[in-house]
Each structure stands twice: as C-alpha cells, then as structure tokens.
C-alpha cells in the first residue's frame, strides 16, 4: 500500500510527462484483487476527463501522510450514532480505519452482543479485536455511511465486509471454521475526526489528477465505475 505522500509524488512526476505529450492522465486507486489494492494510471479522452473533473474536488495538499480533511456526515446503521460535521481524512498507506472513540465503543458493544462469537483478545484491555469468524457476523455488524456534499450529494457505505478482515490460519490442519477475523478499526480521542484506511478502496475508486505543486483534483466513484 502506498502512503499519500508517495502517491502524490508519483502522480506529479507522471503528470509532468503527460503534459508534454498533451495527455489527460489520471490515477485510479481501488481494491478489486484479493491480495490488496492497486494504483492504476489512465490516459483519458477530453470528453472522459471533463466528465470526471466536473465531479471532483480541488484540494490543497501539503507534505503529510493523509488526504483531506473533507467535510462529510457519517452514520452507523442499526444505531442512532451520527456525526453531521465530520472531518474525513484518507490514509491509503494503512489498512485500518481510525474513528472517534465513542463510535468505536458502539461498534465494539454491538460485536459483544453476539454471544456466538469467541474472542481471542480481551475487549476491555485491547483495541485490537481478534475473534473466530462466523458467517453471519457480516450481517450482524452495521455499515458506516459517509455522505459528501460537494456540488451534489454522494454517499458511500463502508460495510462490515470491508472492516472485518479474515486472517486464514497457516501451518496447521484446521477443523471446522477455525479462521480468525479482526476488526480493521481502531479508536482515537479526536471527536469528529475520521481517518479512512485502504479498505475503503473496496467500496469506491479514488481518482486523482494534479493541478499544480500544491493542489490535487480528487473524486470518489462507485467501485464498478468505468
């Protein structure tokens, strides 16, 4: 996985070359392969490039490890947990998503309510939750909905299949369902601050193109976009 700093550096280097060739170069970051996310380069026609640009945000980028912040409201399915004025950052160099502690506690309590789950870690002492996988755990755990309000509203769901990651056991003969899962979400003390990890790339494509040394044009599109 690439950190945003490295991703932007590569983007700018490639764009310098494309400008000389008068090409519309875009980067697309998504996760469609089983072994991890990919970063693709595309040269688009003027019509395609203008279509994407009309839906993309222009943001300043400084030398830091995340993209953002972006203003968005967030909500958790099955609960009354909402954050109308959240600041979302994206850290595609990290698998896990970092969320406000109050929201994390809501998700942890939801997981604890399922009496069929056998935990490998003490949930009261560790923020890194490891447990035996159950087929219905994905249906049991809620999705996180993020709604951006740039020009038009765009909402995306980070589902339980995106933030509950299976870790197959190796080196031993498994009997029955002995795979382990972990919650790819950790808490921090900053209320209203969300740092979305690389699993978001399973939900949407992130498209980027650069304007100059300090600004990046970025947009989020459904993962099956073409």
Both structure tokens of 198: 């690389």
pLDDT over 90 at 81, yes or no:
no
Question: Each residue of 160-213: pLDDT tens digit?
Answer: 988 998 886 665 444 555 688 989 999 999 988 999 888 888 888 888 887 665
Confidence of residue 99 (pLDDT cuts 50, 70, 90): very high
Supply the DSSP string of 37-50, one letter for each residue: EEEEEEEE-HHHHH
Angle at 145 between CA 125 and CA 193, to 5 degrees: 55
Cα separation, 17 vs 40, in Å, equals 16
Looking only at the bridges linking them, the beta strands covering 67-76 and 82-90 are antiparallel
What is the per-residue pLDDT across 63-79, written as a single tens digit (0 to 9) for each? 466 777 788 888 888 77
pLDDT band at 225 (very low <50, low <70, confident <90, very high): very low
pLDDT for the residue 119: 84
What sign results for the dihedral spanned by CA atoms 17, 20, 23, 26? positive
pLDDT at 84 over 80: no
Contacts of 65 (CB under 8 A, 6+ apart): 3, 4, 5, 91, 93
85-110 average pLDDT score: 87
The whole model's pTM is what?
0.75
End-to-end CA distance of the chain: 23
Is the per-residue pLDDT at 57 higher than 80?
no
Taking only the tens place, the pLDDT of each residue in 122-166 is 766 677 888 888 888 888 899 999 887 666 677 888 889 889 988
Indicate the burial class of 12 (C-beta count within 10 angstroms; 0-12, 13-18, 19 or more).
Answer: middle
Give yes or no for residue 221 having a pLDDT over 60: yes
Name the residue with higher pLDDT: 170 or 51. 51
pLDDT number for residue 64: 61
Q: Has residue 17 got a pLDDT over 70?
A: no
Report the SS3 class of residue 103: helix
Cα 116-119-123 angle, rounded to 5 deg: 120
Q: Which among 99, 97, 71, 76 has a CA at the least distance from the CA of 86?
A: 71
Rounded CA separation 29/145 (Å): 20
- In the CATH hierarchy, which fold is given to the domain comprising 4-222? Cathepsin D, subunit A; domain 1 (2.40.70)
pLDDT score of 125: 67
């Amino acid at each position: 996985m690439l950190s945003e700093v490295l991703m932007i550096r590569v983007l700018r280097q490639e764009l310098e070359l494309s400008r000389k060739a008068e090409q519309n170069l875009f980067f697309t970051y998504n996760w469609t392969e089983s072994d991890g996310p990919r970063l693709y380069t595309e040269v688009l026609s003027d019509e395609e490039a203008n279509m994407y640009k009309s839906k993309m945000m222009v943001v300043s980028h400084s030398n830091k490890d995340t993209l953002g912040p972006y203003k968005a409201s967030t909500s958790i399915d099955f609960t009354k947990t909402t954050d109308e004025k959240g600041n979302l950052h994206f850290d595609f160099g990290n698998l896990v998503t970092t969320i406000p502690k109050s929201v994390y506690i809501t998700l942890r309590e939801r997981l604890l309510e399922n009496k069929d789950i056998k935990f490998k870690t003490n949930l009261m002492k560790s923020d890194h939750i490891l447990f035996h996988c159950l087929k219905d755990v994905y249906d049991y755990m809620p999705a996180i909905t993020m709604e951006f309000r740039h020009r038009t509203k765009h909402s995306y769901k980070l589902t339980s299949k995106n933030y509950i990651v299976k870790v197959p056991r190796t080196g031993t003969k498994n009997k029955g369902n002995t795979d382990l899962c972990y919650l790819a979400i950790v808490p921090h003390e900053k209320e209203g601050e969300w740092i979305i990890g690389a699993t978001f790339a399973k939900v949407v494509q992130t498209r980027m193109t650069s304007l100059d040394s300090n600004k990046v044009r970025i947009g989020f599109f459904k993962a099956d976009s073409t």
